[in-house]
């Protein structure tokens, strides 16, 4: 499990592409490699991956076909930056919200607004069915970052980015057309789905 509070930014050093999987070597900040072990879970742009190899602050993880189909890992290139978060430990402070690291789909940046120290991203959902889980002031996870939903219009919604998040994540580099990973809040999804099932039973 994760919290959506990005620990640092990693750099993709190599990508080995196979028929139905990719292997990524990523250089992470030295402080994040402390006590890291093979088999540990590390979020890359919010996507939970398992470490296969470790060499100092270099880690290698594999992404299978299902992951590549539903995330932006498939479009990464050597030299790209990724948001890194280590899995939460019992007793750790949860500054964001509980995140599984299971990306549900990707979204696209439709507009970037930066004025009077206000940085706002407008994001377009690729699958309109997901909009029922997105609520004003609700939790949302974008590229591994715990954010709060702002305005909602049809198949788009906005998020407001604070200066610390701009400084410590890759969100500052996103432009119109950028593809980001989306994870819906688990509890919101559960409530919506349960309510729908109860309504259907009464019809």
Q: Kindly state the average pLDDT of the residues 113-117.
A: 85
CATH of 105-186, one of 2.30.38.10, 2.60.40.10, 2.40.30.20, 3.20.20.70: 2.40.30.20
Residues of the chain with CATH 2.40.30.20: 8-86, 105-186
Give pTM, 2 decimals: 0.92
Split at pLDDT 50, 70, 90, the class of 91 is low
Helix (H, G, I), strand (E, B) or coil at 163: helix
Which residues, 6 or more positions from 56, have their beta carbon under 8 angstroms from its beta carbon?
Answer: 30, 33
pLDDT digits 0-9 by tens, 34-84: 999 999 999 999 999 999 999 999 999 999 999 999 999 999 999 999 999
CATH of 8-86, one of 3.40.47.10, 1.10.645.10, 2.40.30.20, 3.20.20.220: 2.40.30.20
Q: Rounded to an integer, what distance in angstroms lies between the CA atom of residue 156 and that of residue 183?
A: 15
pLDDT digits 0-9 by tens, 175-184: 999 999 999 9
Split at pLDDT 50, 70, 90, the class of 203 is low
* Residue 197: strand pairing partners: none
Query: For the chain, what is the mean pLDDT?
Result: 93
Contact 104, 184 (CB under 8 A): yes
């Amino acid at each position: 499990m994760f919290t959506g509070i990005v620990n640092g930014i990693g750099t993709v050093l190599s990508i080995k592409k196979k028929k139905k999987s990719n292997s990524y070597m990523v250089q992470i900040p030295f402080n994040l490699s402390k006590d890291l072990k093979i088999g540990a879970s590390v979020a890359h742009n919010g996507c939970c991956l398992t470490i296969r190899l470790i060499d100092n602050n270099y880690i290698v993880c594999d992404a299978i076909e299902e992951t590549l189909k539903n995330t932006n890992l498939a479009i990464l290139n050597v030299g790209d930056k990724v948001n890194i978060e280590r899995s939460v430990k019992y007793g750790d402070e949860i500054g964001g919200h509980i995140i599984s690291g299971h990306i549900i789909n990707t979204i696209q940046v439709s507009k970037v607004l930066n004025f009077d120290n206000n940085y706002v991203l407008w994001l377009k959902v690729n699958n309109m069915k997901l909009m029922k889980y997105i609520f004003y002031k609700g939790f949302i996870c974008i590229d591994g970052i715990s954010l709060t939903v702002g305005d909602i219009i049809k198949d788009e919604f906005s998020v407001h980015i604070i200066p610390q998040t701009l400084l410590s994540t890759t969100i500052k580099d996103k432009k119109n057309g950028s593809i980001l990973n989306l994870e819906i809040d688990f509890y919101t999804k559960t409530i919506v789905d349960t309510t729908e099932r109860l309504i259907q039973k009464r019809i």
